[in-house]
A and B are shown apart, each in its own frame.
Chain A
Amino acid sequence: MKNLSLLAGALALSAGSVFAEPVKIEFWHAMGGRLGEVVNDVATQFNAAQSDYEIVPTYKGNYEETLTATIAAFRAGEQPNIVQVFDAGAATIIGAEGAVIPAEELMEANDVPFDINDYISGVRYFYADTDGTMVGMPFNSSTPILYYNVAALEEAGVTPPKTWEEFAEVTGPALKAAGYVPLAQSHLPWIFTENFHSRHNLPFATNDNGYTGNDTQILVNNDAIKAHFTALTEWKDEGLFGYYGAGWGDNQAPFENKEVAMWLGSSGSFGGLKQAADFDFSATYLPYWEAVTTEPTQTFIGGAALFAMSGQDDAENKATAEFFRFLTSAEVQYFWHKETGYVPITEAAYEMAKADGYYDETPQAEVGISQLTLPAGDNTRGYRMGFYVQIRDVMNREYGRILNGEASVDEAFDIIEREANQLLDRFAKTAG
């Protein structure tokens, strides 16, 4: 009798767990360190908030590694439900028609309300297709901004530069005299190439920066950017600019060590910097050249987006849509924004942060989002180019050669233009 009731109890328990078994979805991301902790935190919050779905986040290495792992999994038919793909990989994943379900369609099909106008203007169309349908859900959206060591600038008696002219004539020399390396940056292709074009509203590629056609050619070999790199080499020789290689951290470290007074990084670096730096730092907009434009425009949205992979069953797709609903809610966006420094992607979250007085205490956290809401131009939506990871590698290599004195600016940009266009031609053939 006792045994029987035990058995019944066990049966009841197991039956209960069958019914309560949530739909599990896989989420592959590229957020290491502090960012990874926050991603796990968001996932835990989602799992705790309801009992129908369970999301399992997995760190897959850096952005390039995550994309490669996804492709390998996709070809083996074992792709995750959600994958995080970065700006430079957007053309690859969006170009592979049928590999992903556009976020907008997925949400509408699963009765999750979607209105593109809820999103801040800067993020709306970067990950959209030619018809303006949002394919990737902007996730960690960042933009390059100028961080500065407050004490260092006070010591030198200068304010953060608005223009590069001001940097060259006033800020740079004063900081150098105060014993600092005035400036460093962490990503030459992203900050000084892609966003250089956006900030000055210059076309970066044909076909509307690559959005409207397959036969895109890069327009990087222009006088404005060549003048910028000529200035960089001069600054480097004069001790106004420090270059520590193509790695992100190698350039951020001297800013954290107070050797470098101003550092161009990502608005998403804010959370990590807050932990690492034991000094007062603030941030401001990416400077521009007055010689190129007197009406600087907004920068591109950088970072990465979440893509819902195709080939999953309806229940899992529903779970993915629900996760997107959760993720884009104002509360979660505000939490994400506060913890990481990535910009809130919806107007509602931005309003919430403002109403909460977050920017009164930490004004530097607003720099990224206000830079993204600066006036837009014809060339500020974003860019869409295939094999772009390789194009960035070519840029990084040639920029390294310029700054190491191995190549002249003209030579290097000729090579970048030629090899980028060759890669774009090759990419056009993958679609055919």
Chain B
Amino acid sequence: MKKAVFTNPWLPYALLLPQMSIIAVFFLWPAFEAIRTSFYIQDPFFGTATFVGIDNYTDAIGKSDYLRTANFTLWFTVIVSVGSLALGLILAVAADRVLRGASTYKTTLMWVYAIAPPVAGLIGVMLFDQHIGPIVDFFTLFGWEMQIGVSYYDTAFAMTVVATWKHVPYNFIFFLSGLQSIPNSLREAAAIDCGSRFKRFWTIIFPLLAPTSFFLLIINITYALFETFGTVDTMVKGEPGNNPVTLVYKVFQDGFRGLDVGGSAAQSVILMILVLALTIIQFRLIERRVHYT
């Protein structure tokens, strides 16, 4: 095999430059600004700032609902990620077996992905409306008087359902393509060795899907933490009230609605640290168990 070698030692750096400058402008610089701003209290109109040390951090964490919001974000992330991964996998395995009309099934399962998060939120708002929502009517049959926007837990339930539903198709697409890239010879060999389809799935197919699953796990956690913003925003209808919100939504709420730039920056730095820690854990602990072919 021929080895490619750069003749000019600066060429690789020059080729990296566009990417690095994008990272610098759109990630490093804003991140640095957020850290700097988090030590000041700002006048919203003129940006005149008073240095307050770590007050923004202590004020943010000291608020009575900060822990509750963090707690909700944790459970929301876990349930949405695991839920949409599991549903996506089940549907993918089922669709993989279908021979007739396969593309119709696939398209039907995928098209939810084309819905924008705020639209998904809006559909959720209508389905779960306390006066006219069909899902609310359905649960009333079982004696559950849902009150979205009034009961904290009912709203949390509705939000989780909508956010999960929205992300199943994404997982479905990746799992399906992962399944279809598993060679048939392997499946046939497995079928000769083992009669139980269930056992075959867990011992042969699932480990082969591990790289896909790991990738999706990270994507799903990012989705639940950050991209559900639009869904949350639509479902609380601009009045957070006593509704559950995610940490990201709180950053927005305090910064852009409440105009407390410093306090909002401090919260986003806390979030940045959490995500950094999470990423380290994912790559150090989980990726070791993933085998790439």
Contact = CB atoms under 8 A, between A and B. Distances in A.
Interface stretch (A194-202, A247-255, A347-355): A247-255
A271 interface: no
Given A96-B46, A250-B149, A397-B242, A426 B258 contact: no
Given A96-B44, A99-B46, A400-B242, A244 B149 contact: yes
Given A246-B242, A390-B254, A426 B151 contact: no
A253 B65 contact: no
9 A-B pairs with least C-beta separation: A400-B242, A246-B241, A245-B149, A96-B45, A390-B258, A246-B239, A430-B43, A396-B241, A429-B41
Given A75-B47, A247-B241, A397-B65, 5 more contacts: A64-B238, A246-B240, A247-B239, A393-B241, A426-B59
A28 B152 CA distance: 35
Contact of B131 (A75, A257, A423): A257
Given A247-B237, A393-B253, A401 B259 contact: no
Nearest to B149: A245
Interface in B214-241: 237-241
Interface residues of A, number: 47
Nearest to A93: B45
Interface string B182-212: 0000000000000000000000000000000
A67 B59 contact: no
Contact of B149 (A64, A68, A246, A419): A246
Interface string B29-50: 0000000000001111111101
Contact of A92 (B44, B47, B65, B150): B44
A71 B44 contact: yes
Contacts of A419: 63-64
B256 interface: yes
B260 interface: yes
Contacts of B240: 246, 393, 396-397
Nearest to A188: B241
Q: Which of A244, A400, A406 has the most CB of B within 10 A?
A: A400
Contacts of A246: 149, 239-243
B131 A253 contact: yes
Interface in A252-293: 253-254, 257
Contacts of A387: 258-260
Contacts of B258: 387, 389-390, 393
Interface string A412-432: 000100010011001001111
13 contacts: A64-B238, A67-B259, A92-B44, A93-B45, A96-B44, A96-B46, A247-B238, A257-B131, A393-B258, A397-B65, A400-B243, A401-B242, A419-B64
Contacts of A75: 45-47
Contact of A430 (B41, B63, B147): B41
A204 B131 CA distance: 35
A343 interface: no
A62 interface: yes
B131 A254 contact: yes
A10 to B, nearest CB: 46
Interface string A61-81: 010110110010011000000
B260 A426 contact: yes
Interface of A: 62, 64-65, 67-68, 71, 74-75, 92-93, 95-96, 98-99, 243-250, 253-254, 257, 387, 389-390, 393, 396-401, 403-404, 406, 415, 419, 422-423, 426, 429-432
A254 B43 CA distance: 41
A404 B44 contact: no
Interface of B: 41-48, 50, 52, 59, 62-65, 130-131, 147-152, 237-243, 253-254, 256-260, 263
A63 B208 CA distance: 53
B45 A400 contact: no
A260 B221 CA distance: 43
Contacts of B238: 62, 64-65, 247
Contacts of B50: 429-430, 432
Contact of B257 (A64, A244, A429): A64
A401 B240 CA distance: 12
B233 to A, nearest CB: 11
B45 A71 contact: yes
Contact of A404 (B41, B130, B150, B254): B150
Nearest to A67: B259
A244 B238 CA distance: 15
Given A406-B152, A419-B64, A397 B44 contact: no
A404 B152 contact: yes
Contacts of A248: 239
Given A396-B239, A426-B41, A92 B149 contact: no
A396 B242 contact: yes
A244 B241 contact: no
Nearest to B254: A390
Contact of B44 (A254, A430, A432): A430
Nearest to B63: A419
A67 B63 CA distance: 25
Given A247-B239, A393-B240, A404-B152, A431 B263 contact: no
Nearest to A411: B64
A243 B50 CA distance: 41
